A and B are shown apart, each in its own frame.
Chain A
C-alpha cells in the first residue's frame, strides 16, 4: 500500500536482523550440503570450495524417481481438485434448492472435522478398493481433503460473475457442460490461481499421507524418501541428506520467488472474499 507510513531506520535495521535469523537455517542447510567431511561436524567452519560429492551421491539414489512421484501426485491432486471443485462450487453458488444447500453444509463441515481418526478406516477402505500403495490414492485423498476449501473458494468467486452470461449462452443453445468450461471456468481463473499458489506447498511437502498409504520405494514421494534416507544412513554422514533436502526444496523455492507477488495478492483476495 502506498498510503502506509515509512518505517524508521532503526525499525528497518531491527527487521533486517530478525529476518537474517529467520534465514539462518536455510543458509545453514545450503552451506552444509557443500561442506566436505573434514569440516562437516565443525558448525562454524565455512567450506572453502564447492564440495559436490553429496550431490553426486544424492542424485545416485532414488531421487529422480521420488521427484517424479511428487510431481505426479502434486499435479494430480491439484488438477483433480480444480476439476471437481470448480463445478461443485459454481453449482453451490447458483442453486438455491435445498439439496444443494445440504451439500454446501456437508462440504463446509469438512473444514472443521479433522481426519486424524479416519486414517485407519481409510487405510482399510483403500485396501478394499485395491488402491493401497498407489499414487492414484494419494491424488484422491488430497482431492477429498481440498474439496471443502476449494469449493468454498470457487463458490465465492462465482458470485462475482454476472448470471446474464449463462442465460444468454443457454438461449443460444449452449449446453451446460460446454457453457461452464468455455465461459465460466476461464472467468474463475483467479480462484484457480489462488488455490494453486496457496496449496501447492502443502501437497509437495506432505509427509504423513505417503508415509501411511505408500510402502514401495518405486511409489515414494520426496519427503518420506528423505526421512528414510536419513534413518538408513544415520551413522554414516548427513551430507547427502542435506543435499537431497536442498534439491527437494529447490523447485518450490523457485516457484515461490517467481510467484510471490501473486500469492500475496491471492491471500488478500481470499481473506476479503472469505
Chain B
C-alpha cells in the first residue's frame, strides 16, 4: 500500500515537467487567443471587446479570403495529383531493382531540405532569365516563357508545383512504410486464388494501406492550410493578393500591421478549418479502415 502510494506520487512527478511546459506554452496561449480574437488589441493599448467585428471583417479582406481560397486549391490539388503520384512512386520503389537506394534517396532529398533553401534555388530557377525559361527557349517553347512568380496567373500555381516537389517524396515514404508492413503471405494467398495485377492492388494493397492513406491525406490538407515559408520568401503574397495564403495574411496582419486582435481572429478561423478537416477526414478514413 505504502509502495503504491509512493509510486502514484512518483508518476505525478514524472508527468509534471511535460504538463507544465505544454500547458504554459501551448494551452494558455491557445485559450488567450480565443479572447483576443474578440478585441481590437494592437499590442500596446488595452484590448477592447468588439464582439464579432474581427470575424466579420475577415470575409471582406481579400488577403484573408484569397489566402484561404489558395490554400483550399492547393489542398485539392494535393489530394487529386500528389497522393496518387506518391502512391504510384511508393509501389514502384517497393519493387526490387539495382538503383533503388539511389532513387529512394533522390525522392526523399527534397523533404529534408528546408523550405528556405528550396525557395532560394527555385526562386532563381523561376526568374524570367532563370533556368526554366532558358530550357524552354532552347527546346523551342519560347512562346510560353513567363516571369512565373511575377505574374498574377502563374505565381500561385508555381508555388503549388514547388510544394509538390517536396511533398511527393514525403508521402511516398509514408506509403512505402505502409507497403512494407503488409504481410507477404496475403499476396501469396491471393495469388493462389488467381488474383492478378490490378485486383491485387484493389483488394489487398489499398485496403491494407488505409492507415497510411489516412495519415497522408491529413498531412496534405493540413500542410496546405499551414503554408507560410514559400509565399513569404518568394512572392510575399503578390502580385496583388494572388499568392497569399491564410497563414501569410495572418502573419502580415499581426507583425506588419500590428493588428493583433484581427490577426488572432484569422488564426482562429484557420484553426477551425484545420480542426474540421482533421475530424471529418480522420473519421471518414477511419470508417474505411474498420470496414476491412
| A interface residues (Cβ-Cβ under 8 A, vs B) | 1-7, 11-12, 15-16, 18-20, 22-23, 25-26, 28-29, 32, 41-44, 80, 83-85, 87-88, 90-92, 94-95, 97, 99-100, 103, 106-107, 110, 112-122, 124-125, 140-141, 143-145, 147-148, 151, 170, 175-177, 180, 201, 204-205, 207-208, 212, 223-224, 226-227, 230, 238, 241-242, 245, 248-249, 252-253, 256-257, 260, 264, 267-268, 270-272, 274
Residues of chain A within 8 A (CB-CB) of B199 are: none
Question: Is B10 interfacial (CB-CB < 8 Å)?
Answer: yes
Binds A, one of B55-63, B74-82, B146-154, B270-278: B270-278
Min C-beta distance of B85 to chain A, whole Å: 10
Chain B window 129-161, contacts with chain A (Cβ cutoff 8 Å), 1 for yes, 0 for no: 111001100100000000000000000000000
Given A84-B21, A91-B15, A260-B108, output 16 extra A-B contacts at Cβ < 8 Å.
Answer: A7-B92, A15-B103, A16-B99, A25-B125, A32-B121, A115-B26, A144-B22, A205-B113, A205-B116, A208-B228, A224-B116, A226-B116, A245-B120, A248-B117, A252-B112, A271-B212
Min C-beta distance of B72 to chain A, whole Å: 16
Is there contact, CB below 8 Å, between A19 and B17? Answer: no
Is there contact, CB below 8 Å, between B36 and A120? Answer: yes
Min C-beta distance of A155 to chain B, whole Å: 11
Q: Which of B13, B120, B135, B270 contacts A114 (CB 8 A)?
A: B270
Is there contact, CB below 8 Å, between B28 and A125? Answer: yes
Residues of chain A within 8 A (CB-CB) of B93 are: 15
Chain B window 1-33, contacts with chain A (Cβ cutoff 8 Å), 1 for yes, 0 for no: 001001110111111011101111111111011
Q: Nearest 4 A-B pairs (CB), nearest first?
A: A117-B267, A205-B114, A176-B10, A19-B106
Residues of chain B within 8 A (CB-CB) of A272 are: 181
Residues of chain A within 8 A (CB-CB) of B36 are: 120-121
Is there contact, CB below 8 Å, between A208 and B121? Answer: no
Q: Which of B11, B130, B184 contacts A3 (CB 8 A)?
A: B184
Determine the residue in chain A with the shortest Cβ distance to B124.
Answer: A238
Q: Give chain A's interface secondary structure class.
A: helix
Known interface pairs A15-B93, A145-B26, A205-B116; A44-B138 also in contact (CB < 8 Å): yes
Known interface pairs A19-B103, A212-B255, A245-B117; A4-B22 also in contact (CB < 8 Å): no
Question: Is B38 interfacial (CB-CB < 8 Å)?
Answer: no
**What is the CA–CA distance of A199 and B275 in the complex, to the nearest angstrom?**
23
**What is the CA–CA distance of A15 and B93 in the complex, to the nearest angstrom?**
8
Determine the residue in chain A with the shortest Cβ distance to B137.
Answer: A44
Which of B3, B7, B111, B212 has its CB near the most chain A CB atoms (within 10 A)?
B7
Determine the residue in chain A with the shortest Cβ distance to B102.
Answer: A19
Residues of chain B within 8 A (CB-CB) of A28 are: 121, 124-125, 131
Residues of chain B within 8 A (CB-CB) of A205 are: 112-117
**What is the CA–CA distance of A212 and B108 in the complex, to the nearest angstrom?**
29
Which of A95, A117, A125, A207 has its CB near the most chain B CB atoms (within 10 A)?
A117
Q: Which of A4, A95, A116 contacts B226 (CB 8 A)?
A: A116
Is there contact, CB below 8 Å, between A230 and B120? Answer: yes
Is there contact, CB below 8 Å, between A147 and B275? Answer: no
Min C-beta distance of B102 to chain A, whole Å: 7
Is there contact, CB below 8 Å, between A241 and B267? Answer: no
**What is the CA–CA distance of A120 and B260 in the complex, to the nearest angstrom?**
7
Residues of chain A within 8 A (CB-CB) of B165 are: 22, 25
Residues of chain A within 8 A (CB-CB) of B30 are: 113, 115, 117-118, 121
Determine the residue in chain A with the shortest Cβ distance to B9.
Answer: A176
Residues of chain A within 8 A (CB-CB) of B198 are: none
Residues of chain A within 8 A (CB-CB) of B184 are: 1, 3
Residues of chain B within 8 A (CB-CB) of A230 are: 120, 233
Is there contact, CB below 8 Å, between A114 and B274? Answer: yes
**What is the CA–CA distance of A84 and B43 in the complex, to the nearest angstrom?**
33
Residues of chain B within 8 A (CB-CB) of A175 are: 10
Known interface pairs A151-B18, A176-B6, A223-B114; A25-B25 also in contact (CB < 8 Å): no
Q: Which of A22, A99, A176 contacts B109 (CB 8 A)?
A: A22
Residues of chain B within 8 A (CB-CB) of A264 are: 173, 176-177
Q: Which of A7, A23, A107 contacts B95 (CB 8 A)?
A: A7
Residues of chain B within 8 A (CB-CB) of A125 are: 24-25, 28-29, 32
Is there contact, CB below 8 Å, between B267 and A103? Answer: no
